């Protein structure tokens, strides 16, 4: 086999065990399929007080089972909007030296994000003639023209220098091809594993969580930000009239969390089903018992949560943005609507929640599509190995 050095600022750790789980699952699948994987996940220098003070307790190396994660320190200043370029420069100045002292020369560098990971490991890749692959999930490419000062030139430099640009959707691959050589751009989907979702226990889970067996459960999973459509949701909820429907919101917080709580309080729906920081196991249970997953985002790559809805046989209501139409077949596995359209959200919810049998059929069709397209973590790892091997050989 071969050796991989992975760079991933967005990775779970002892302070934030649920951030960047998709990167953990990607690297775990890769390591379990044969290659030797080591990872660096830089963390901020920890001040004595403030939002990053807790990082002082993070171990320098954490064991994640199939691979180890190293946490060298970089300068990461706030507000992020003003100083995000500083993080990239600190990464590029500090982490290549740490890598040289800590690891043998790898066969491949795999940056889990275009920036800062790809940019930060670029000096090491150049100095040691190691192929560099960067993964694009959406935010860097979708924000071209609107990055914090100093970031966009570094994003473009990384795209130009990378051996391969791995995009999670065809839509992102098309965007990446506008900024670099299209021949090195690949679509490498992530995915989900149906065996991890206890769909056969839906009734028991509803009883355990005090959800009426006959209710239609509409699930939102994502951060509570404007770009995820929370603005449209809060506009809609107070006037929305749906019989026997329960809304559940799961996220890692966000600037619009309080607005969401107020909107639910003013609506006919319970405000008790807003959850932040729940475990992976608990989230899988919510997916398993839900009838409809909805995500009215303004922009996306291919959302991990939609793969998880498909794996759990849950119908999807999404927007026609990014790679979402590549996942959801309108009228077959769910519904697609225009972004930022409150009326379209309301109409789709009225239609879909009126017939649970239709939702169940859409959910089963979504799971079949997931399997037919090989959108699982094991298949994801095989696709990564294919492009890695091509560069090594």
Q: In this predicted model, what pLDDT tens digit does every residue of 283-307 receive, in sequence order?
A: 999 999 999 999 999 999 999 999 9
Same domain assignment for residues 229 and 349? yes
CATH number of the domain at 241, please: 3.40.50.2000
The set of residues, in sequence order, having a beta carbon less than 8 Å from that of 8 and lying 6+ positions away, is: 20, 23, 27, 39, 40, 41, 111, 112, 113, 117
On the question of pLDDT at 208 being above 80, the answer is yes
Same domain assignment for residues 345 and 365? yes
What does the pLDDT read at residue 61? 97
- H/E stretch holding 61 reads strand 61-63
On the question of pLDDT at 78 being above 80, the answer is no
On the question of pLDDT at 111 being above 80, the answer is yes
Give residue 62's pLDDT band: very low, low, confident or very high (50, 70, 90).
very high
What does the pLDDT read at residue 272? 92
What does the pLDDT read at residue 76? 85
What does the pLDDT read at residue 18? 87
Query: What's the whole-number mean pLDDT along residues 236-253?
Result: 95
Query: What's the whole-number mean pLDDT along residues 202-221?
Result: 96
Query: What's the whole-number mean pLDDT along residues 75-82?
Result: 79
The DSSP result for 292-357, as a single string, is EEEE--SS-SS-HHHHHHHHTT-EEEEESSTTHHHH--BTTTEEEE-TT-HHHHHHHHHHHTT-HH
What does the pLDDT read at residue 83? 81
Residues 306-338 pLDDT 10s: 999 999 999 999 999 999 999 999 999 999 999
Residues 161-176 pLDDT 10s: 999 999 999 999 999 9
What does the pLDDT read at residue 25? 97
- Look over the chain and give the mean of its residue pLDDT values, rounded to a whole number: 95
Q: Domain containing 98: what range?
A: 3-191+376-392
Q: How far is CA 333 from CA 48, 287, 326, in A?
A: 50, 15, 11
What does the pLDDT read at residue 188? 98
Separation of CA 43 from chain center: 19
Same domain assignment for residues 65 and 177? yes
On the question of pLDDT at 50 being above 90, the answer is no
Same domain assignment for residues 227 and 178? no
Q: Which residue has the tokens 């790559």?
A: 301
What does the pLDDT read at residue 2? 98
On the question of pLDDT at 81 being above 80, the answer is no
Partners of 294 in beta bridges? 317
Same domain assignment for residues 238 and 350? yes
Same domain assignment for residues 167 and 85? yes
Domain count for the chain: 2
Give residue 157's pLDDT band: very low, low, confident or very high (50, 70, 90).
very high
Give residue 118's pLDDT band: very low, low, confident or very high (50, 70, 90).
very high
Query: What's the whole-number mean pLDDT along residues 273-290?
Result: 94
Same domain assignment for residues 55 and 121? yes
Check residues 252 and 198 and name the one with the higher pLDDT. Answer: 198
Same domain assignment for residues 275 and 214? yes
What does the pLDDT read at residue 367? 98
Tell how strand 68-70 and strand 61-63 pair up: antiparallel
Same domain assignment for residues 39 and 109? yes
On the question of pLDDT at 51 being above 80, the answer is no
Same domain assignment for residues 212 and 183? no
Same domain assignment for residues 265 and 122? no
What does the pLDDT read at residue 172? 96
Q: Whole-prediction pTM value?
A: 0.94
Same domain assignment for residues 237 and 140? no
Is 73 in contact with 42 (CB distance < 8 Å)? yes
Give residue 389's pLDDT band: very low, low, confident or very high (50, 70, 90).
very high
């Amino acid at each position: 086999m071969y050796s991989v050095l992975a760079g991933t600022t967005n990775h779970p750790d002892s302070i934030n065990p649920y951030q960047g789980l998709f990167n953990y699952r990607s690297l775990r699948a890769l390591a379990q399929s044969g290659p030797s994987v080591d990872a660096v996940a830089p963390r901020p220098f920890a001040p004595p007080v403030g939002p990053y003070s807790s990082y002082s307790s993070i171990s320098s190396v954490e064991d994640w089972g199939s691979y180890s994660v190293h946490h060298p320190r970089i300068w990461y200043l706030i507000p992020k909007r003003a100083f995000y370029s500083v993080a990239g420069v600190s990464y590029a100045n500090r982490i290549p030296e740490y890598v040289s002292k800590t690891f043998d020369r790898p066969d491949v560098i795999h940056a889990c994000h275009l920036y800062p990971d790809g940019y930060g490991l670029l000096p090491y890749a150049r100095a040691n003639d190691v192929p560099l692959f960067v993964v694009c999930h959406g935010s860097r490419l979708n924000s071209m023209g609107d990055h914090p000062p100093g970031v966009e030139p570094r994003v473009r430099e990384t795209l130009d220098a990378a051996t391969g640009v791995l995009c999670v959707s065809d839509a992102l691959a098309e965007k990446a091809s506008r900024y670099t050589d299209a021949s090195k751009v690949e679509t490498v989907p992530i995915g989900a594993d149906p065996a991890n979702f206890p769909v056969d226990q839906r009734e028991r889970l509803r009883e355990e969580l005090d959800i009426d067996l006959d209710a239609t459960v509409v699930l939102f999973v994502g951060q509570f930000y404007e770009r995820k459509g929370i603005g449209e949701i809060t506009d809609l909820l107070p006037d929305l009239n749906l019989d026997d429907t329960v809304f559940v919101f799961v996220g890692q917080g966000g600037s619009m969390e309080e607005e969401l709580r107020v909107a639910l309080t003013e609506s006919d729906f319970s405000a008790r089903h807003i959850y932040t920081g729940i475990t992976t196991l608990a989230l899988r249970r919510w997916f398993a018992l839900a009838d409809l997953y909805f995500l009215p985002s303004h922009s996306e790559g291919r959302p991990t949560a939609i793969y998880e809805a498909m794996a759990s046989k849950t119908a999807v209501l999404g927007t026609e943005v990014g790679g979402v139409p590549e996942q959801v077949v309108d009228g077959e596995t769910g519904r697609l609507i225009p972004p930022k359209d409150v009326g379209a959200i309301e109409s789709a919810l009225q239609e879909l929640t009126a017939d649970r049998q239709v939702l169940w059929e859409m959910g089963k069709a979504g799971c079949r599509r997931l399997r037919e397209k090989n959108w699982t973590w094991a298949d994801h790892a095989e696709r990564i190995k294919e492009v890695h091997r091509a560069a090594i050989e």
